[in-house]
Chains A and B, each alone.
Chain A
Amino acid sequence: MKSYFARRILQLVPVLIGMSIVVFSIIHAIPGDPATVILGDHATPEAVKELRTEMGLDKPLISQYFAYVKSIVTGDLGNSLRTKKPIQEEITPYLAATIELMFASMIIATVIGVNAGILAAWKRASWFDNIAMFIALVGVSMPVFWLGLMEQWIFSEKLSWLPSIGRFNAREPIEAITGLYMVDTIIQGNWAGLWDAFKHLILPGLALGTIPMAIIARITRSSMLEVLESEYVRTARAKGLSEIWVLYKHALKNAFAPVLTVIGLQVGLLLGGAVLTETIFGWPGIGRYIYDAIGYRDYPVIQSGILIISTIFVCVNLVVDLLYARLDPRINYK
């Protein structure tokens, strides 16, 4: 197990190198000039040229790439071209915001998705199955943008139940420790703040969680259908075990492996792909951070941001692979 783990970590290195080359090439291949964008439409050509030199953009691409790799290896993610601040400092709060949102949406997606999938498989071809799978189909094809705006319209504007934007009530700010406000408020014993942060998570979490929820429900259902046909489930039922016990203890255990894979992949997608949700809900996450950086051609931010997201993505999938072994004793990593 340990050697497998070490091997997987080592495999990360070529993946990240390859990724950094691809990202570097693409962002330098797209036309556009950060110096002009930063200085704006009133800038003089001299000022633009001076700024390009200062940012090192006049050097050959190869040497720019190696300078970048060198700083990454020494643990320096570089400085933003636009704000001039170290990316390490800048990126942490964005990352925390995205992780909190991702957790919320994955919890919503997994809990509802898996349960709906199990029930749909158990009551196959019933009205519940039909409705749940219809909703899942709609969920998969739902534009997040539209869903988010509808949620805001119904739950904030019309019903006034939930706040529409942000991570907390701006009039009663929460002090950041880890940047995960649900955790921070618990540490501080700030229960009103916890409730506030929780309420702010519901709408964006639901919007972001809808597509994974639908996918998870469908996968769970098909996987459960297969397992429910098998001999050992019949044996379990014959033994007189309660249906819930059969479903959740015996059947789900074997049906869960493909669901876990999907969860792992979705986590990766949510990390970088939450731009739309973050935009609508004014959520200061990493998706928006990178998206804005692309608009400004802020090369170091784009590079380092994508690097961090890919690293997390690879790690999450490593964890998923390790969980496989615990789920299915036949899988043995050596």
Chain B
Amino acid sequence: MKVNFKIFRTLSILCIFLVAGCSDKESDSGNKTVNTTESSKNSTLIYGRGTDTVTLDAHNIVEAESSRISKNIYETLIDYEKESTEVTPKLAKEWTTSDDGLIWTFKLQENVKFHDGTEFNADAVVYNFERMMDENHPQHQGDFSIFSRTFKGVIEEVKAVDAHTVEFKLVKSDATFLPNLGITPFGIISPDALKTFNDKIQEHPVGTGPFVFDSWIQNDSLTLLKNENYWITDLPKMDKIIFKIIPDNSARLTALKNGEIDLMEGINQSDLPAIEKDMNLQILKRPAANVGYITINTTRPPFDNVKVRQALNHAVNKQGLIDAFFGPVASPAKNMTPPAVWGYNDEVKDYEFDLEKAKQLLVEAGYPNGFETEFYVMTTPRLYFPQPEKVAEAMKSDLEKINVKVKIVTYEWATYLPKLMEGDYSIAVIGRISENGDPDNFLNTMLYSKSSSNLSKFSNTRIDELLIEAKNSIDRDVRTALYKEVQEIAHNEAPTIPIAYVESPMAARNYVKGYIPHAIGYESLAEIYFEE
């Protein structure tokens, strides 16, 4: 017992000393924090984000936080322009396609080396694609779900023509083949590393990108170092990038203001004015390659009636919702594809907010006294719906004015998504984020009758024809015209109520330069630098 109390007394005394010590040294320690920040500032960028990466095995990536890292370790054959989703060369310096669109030949960059010193060449590309395609491949470990969805039944064969030429033979002509090659799951991994690490490749990622993997403390931080032998001269500009996880938006902003991080994503709308006023900070905007919308189950009465769907479209005050719950980062949506993606049809005239007209349409549809329905809402905020429940509440009051009695039903994400995909709902809040910046990625996925992400279960023969034609064509002008027609028909048929295109604001310390957030949601950080 005496021992216990001795410990206790010692702790008490220690505590008093510490408190005293702290008050003496606090100001000193504050300076010290700032000093270390200043001295290492020129070499290390700390990027604050909300959630952790899941995997560093590029081929098995399914979500954005893994892509954010992967984009800096690995590179793909093609890339997108910095400020648009137009395709541009990367590991492939040029390419040609046969007249029937079945054979694609890529000339690869020469003198590119993987981080492990091995050479990047046509064999490496073939090895990577075979890993994804061939179930008997020794490193075919994982789900390869993005590959299955994107290229299964599209790519027939990949072969090396010579050391720096690779040829893709397709099963059918596919306009999305080229833009799809640029998404992170098709990053090229060092074949040597794959053979050495096998299913542990996700802990030892080796690519050709501007940064080399250093360490990863889960749910805390992930560190990348400069690739000293990067094939593009003078890049990258930073010596080190640390991705730091801070789950809470307000806490992340405090860390930014305190200089503990240099750059952050995920800002509460209510914090924007304060950031604008802060002399040390700047706001950067990630363009909106997304659409938040209300999906209407077109197989369920009364929503099988187009007039009912049009009536709902007239009963939504988009601008009001945006002003109240989205803030200056969003703009009202009228199409199922955002203006940041090419092929956007600006000639479509949006349904104006007109409750009388909505009532009139309901009368024409045979529902003069309205009807009752359930309105499904997720409790989890998404990029395209920062406050889904509040949006639903506001819509409910407008819908009740046209005698549509709405019962709001909420689910959290893990329950919500399966329900929508099974078509077990009437109307529901949802959205879509682009994967590859191609209009097909929005319109085909959400409107093609056989697509599993066609949550409205919408079926229109003309739209199906147009979408197939657009997917098979490789002529940009032809495709643009086809997609514009799709948007026109979709607007009239109204299987959804497009609500908003949402930009994501980011904040950085003023000295952060050369950073251009990309619409797809992640980007190479090779050109980022600190201004002296």
| Partner-B contacts on A (CB < 8 A) | 30-34, 36-45, 47, 50-51, 54, 82-84, 90, 93-94, 97, 107-108, 110-112, 114-115, 148-149, 152-153, 156-157, 159-167, 169-173, 176, 195, 199, 202, 248-249, 252-253, 279-282, 284, 288-289, 292, 295-297, 323, 326-327
Cβ-closest chain A residue relative to B419 = A31
A-B pairs with beta carbons under 8 Å apart, 24 shown = A31-B414, A32-B414, A32-B418, A36-B417, A41-B417, A45-B421, A47-B148, A51-B143, A112-B15, A115-B12, A153-B254, A165-B254, A166-B244, A166-B246, A170-B46, A172-B36, A173-B221, A176-B217, A195-B29, A252-B5, A279-B248, A282-B255, A284-B217, A284-B218
* In the complex with contacts A156-B258, A284-B217, A39-B9 CB distance below 8 A: no
Q: Say if the beta carbon of B373 comes within 8 Å of chain A.
A: no
Residues from chain A with Cβ under 8 Å of B270 in the complex = none
Residues from chain A with Cβ under 8 Å of B254 in the complex = 149, 152-153, 156-157, 164-165
* A297 CA to B418 CA, complexed, in Å: 13
Q: Say if the beta carbon of B4 comes within 8 Å of chain A.
A: yes
Residues from chain B with Cβ under 8 Å of A51 in the complex = 143, 145
Q: Say if the beta carbon of B521 comes within 8 Å of chain A.
A: no
* In the complex with contacts A93-B218, A94-B218, A36-B418 CB distance below 8 A: yes
Q: B336 CB to closest chain A CB, in angstroms?
A: 15
- Choose among A37, A44, A83, A171 the residue that contacts B40 (Cβ–Cβ < 8 A): A171
- In chain B, positions 314-367 with a C-beta closer than 8 Å to chain A are none
Residues from chain B with Cβ under 8 Å of A248 in the complex = 5, 9
* In the complex with contacts A149-B250, A167-B220, A281-B251, A32-B412 CB distance below 8 A: yes
Judge whether A282 and B245 touch: CB under 8 Å: yes
Residues from chain B with Cβ under 8 Å of A112 in the complex = 15
Cβ-closest chain A residue relative to B220 = A284
Q: A209 CB to closest chain B CB, in angstroms?
A: 12
Residues from chain B with Cβ under 8 Å of A172 in the complex = 36, 40
* In the complex with contacts A31-B415, A169-B33, A171-B44, A47-B149 CB distance below 8 A: yes
Judge whether B149 and A170 touch: CB under 8 Å: no
* A135 CA to B139 CA, complexed, in Å: 61
Q: Say if the beta carbon of B489 comes within 8 Å of chain A.
A: no
* A213 CA to B189 CA, complexed, in Å: 52
Q: Say if the beta carbon of B269 comes within 8 Å of chain A.
A: no
Interface of A is mostly: helix
Q: B488 CB to closest chain A CB, in angstroms?
A: 25
Interface residues on B, range: 35 or more
| Partner-A contacts on B (CB < 8 A) | 1, 4-5, 8-9, 11-12, 15, 22, 26-27, 29-30, 33-34, 36-37, 40, 44, 46, 51, 54-55, 62-63, 142-143, 145, 148-149, 202, 215, 217-221, 223, 242, 244-248, 250-252, 254-255, 257-258, 260-261, 411-415, 417-418, 421, 430, 432, 435, 445, 452-453
* A130 CA to B490 CA, complexed, in Å: 70
* A327 CA to B452 CA, complexed, in Å: 67
Residues from chain B with Cβ under 8 Å of A37 in the complex = 413-414, 417
Judge whether B418 and A165 touch: CB under 8 Å: no
* A128 CA to B417 CA, complexed, in Å: 56
Judge whether A47 and B145 touch: CB under 8 Å: yes
Judge whether B145 and A39 touch: CB under 8 Å: yes
Q: B337 CB to closest chain A CB, in angstroms?
A: 15
Residues from chain B with Cβ under 8 Å of A108 in the complex = 15
Other 12 A-B pairs with CB < 8 A, given A43-B421, A111-B11, A297-B414:
A32-B412, A83-B55, A111-B12, A165-B255, A170-B221, A172-B40, A195-B29, A248-B5, A279-B251, A282-B245, A284-B220, A323-B4
Judge whether A160 and B258 touch: CB under 8 Å: yes
Judge whether A164 and B5 touch: CB under 8 Å: no
- Choose among B33, B55, B421 the residue that contacts A36 (Cβ–Cβ < 8 A): B421
Cβ-closest chain B residue relative to A199 = B29
Cβ-closest chain A residue relative to B258 = A156
Residues from chain A with Cβ under 8 Å of B46 in the complex = 170-171
Judge whether B255 and A164 touch: CB under 8 Å: yes
Judge whether B4 and A171 touch: CB under 8 Å: no
Judge whether A43 and B145 touch: CB under 8 Å: yes
* A170 CA to B259 CA, complexed, in Å: 11
- Choose among B12, B246, B250, B453 the residue that contacts A42 (Cβ–Cβ < 8 A): B453
Judge whether B247 and A282 touch: CB under 8 Å: yes
Residues from chain A with Cβ under 8 Å of B218 in the complex = 90, 93-94, 284
Q: B244 CB to closest chain A CB, in angstroms?
A: 5
Judge whether B36 and A169 touch: CB under 8 Å: yes
10 closest residue pairs by CB, A with B: A32-B414, A282-B246, A284-B219, A284-B220, A32-B415, A160-B30, A31-B415, A111-B15, A161-B26, A152-B254
* A42 CA to B1 CA, complexed, in Å: 63
* A43 CA to B12 CA, complexed, in Å: 58
* A130 CA to B248 CA, complexed, in Å: 36
* A149 CA to B218 CA, complexed, in Å: 23
Cβ-closest chain B residue relative to A296 = B414
